[in-house]
């Protein structure tokens, strides 16, 4: 039976007329959105894979990042053995104060050994007093000279000799002090060595003079003749 209405389209799903362009534009827009979404999803997936590959490459040790246990232990040992030469074992900076003080003390003791001291004067006066007491009841001239002057002379020489020996020992200590204790990066100052050497020289000279005076080798006691 034939359709009597010629205005009805044969395909009802295909739009005709003025609304056809709008429907086609909507379909094209939907297709473009779907393609953009697919491209964006693929790009995000590729980015995640790249991040995962970079993380695996960073965690895995490469040829330049191979961990050597012996090298690590050796490095820790080197760090533990390192010491700062500017500091001694107690953590205090080595300043050479002991050497400087010893050098000055040696020079001072050497001067005292040659010029005399209050201690030597007191010892000499004591021996003089003892000699006067012994010879007060009478005695020969030789005995008086020996008891009053000789013993006092020898006492002074003995005290000066002790000061000279101290100057010698302290000066030697000042010179050899850097060889003991914590090493110092700075050499011993020149003035410290010079003063210590002067103290040693004065100590040796004073010791020789004191020995000569004690045994009457330089100046003999006067005689009663």
Distance CA(32)–CA(41), nearest Å, equals 14
Q: Cβ(120)–Cβ(159) under 8 Å? A: yes
pLDDT given at position 136: 87
The pLDDT value recorded for residue 24 is 52
pLDDT of residue 5: 45
Q: How far apart are CA 206 and CA 161, in angstroms?
A: 6
Q: How far is CA 10 from CA 4, 15, 23, 35, 221, in A?
A: 13, 11, 19, 33, 163
Question: What tokens appear for 25 in the block?
Answer: 């534009």
pLDDT of residue 219: 86
**DSSP code of residue 70:** H
pTM of the model: 0.57
Look at residue 93 and give its three-state secondary structure: strand
Burial letters for 175-212: b for 16+ Cβ neighbours within 10 Å, e otherwise?
A: bebbeeebebeeebeeebbebbbbbbbbbbbbbebbee
Cβ atoms of residues 160 and 109 within 8 Å: no
Residue-level pLDDT, tens digit, the chain, 225 residues:
444 444 444 444 444 444 445 545 666 666 676 666 666 666 666 666 655 555 555 544 444 444 454 544 444 444 444 444 444 444 444 457 888 999 999 999 999 999 999 999 999 999 999 999 988 888 788 888 999 999 999 999 999 999 999 999 999 999 998 877 676 777 888 999 999 999 999 999 999 999 999 999 988 888 876
219 phi and psi angles, rounded to 5 deg: -130, 125
Beta strands in 49-145 (DSSP E): none
pLDDT at 80: 45
Report the pLDDT value the prediction gives residue 13, as an integer from 0 to 100. Answer: 47
Cβ pair 155, 123 in contact under 8 A = yes
Residue whose entry in the numeric block shows the structure tokens 């002067």 = 198
């Amino acid at each position: 039976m034939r359709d009597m209405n010629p205005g009805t389209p044969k395909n009802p799903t295909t739009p005709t007329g003025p609304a056809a362009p709008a429907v086609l534009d909507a379909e094209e827009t939907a297709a473009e959105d779907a393609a953009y979404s697919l491209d964006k999803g693929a790009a995000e997936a590729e980015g995640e894979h790249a991040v995962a590959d970079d993380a695996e490459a960073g965690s895995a040790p490469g040829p330049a990042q191979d961990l050597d246990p012996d090298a690590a232990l050796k490095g820790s040992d080197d760090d533990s053995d390192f010491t700062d030469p500017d500091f001694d074992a107690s953590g205090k900076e080595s300043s050479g104060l002991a050497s400087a003080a010893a050098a000055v003390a040696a020079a001072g003791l050497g001067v005292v050994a040659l010029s005399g001291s209050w201690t030597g004067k007191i010892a000499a006066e004591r021996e003089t007093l003892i000699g006067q007491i012994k010879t007060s009841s009478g005695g020969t001239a030789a005995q008086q000279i020996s008891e009053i002057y000789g013993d006092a002379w020898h006492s002074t020489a003995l005290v000066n000799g002790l000061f000279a020996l101290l100057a010698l020992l302290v000066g030697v200590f000042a010179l050899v002090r850097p060889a003991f204790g914590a090493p110092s990066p700075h050499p011993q100052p020149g003035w410290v060595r010079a003063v210590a050497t002067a103290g040693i020289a004065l100590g040796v000279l004073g010791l020789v003079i004191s020995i000569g005076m004690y045994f009457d080798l330089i100046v003999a006691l006067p005689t009663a003749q």
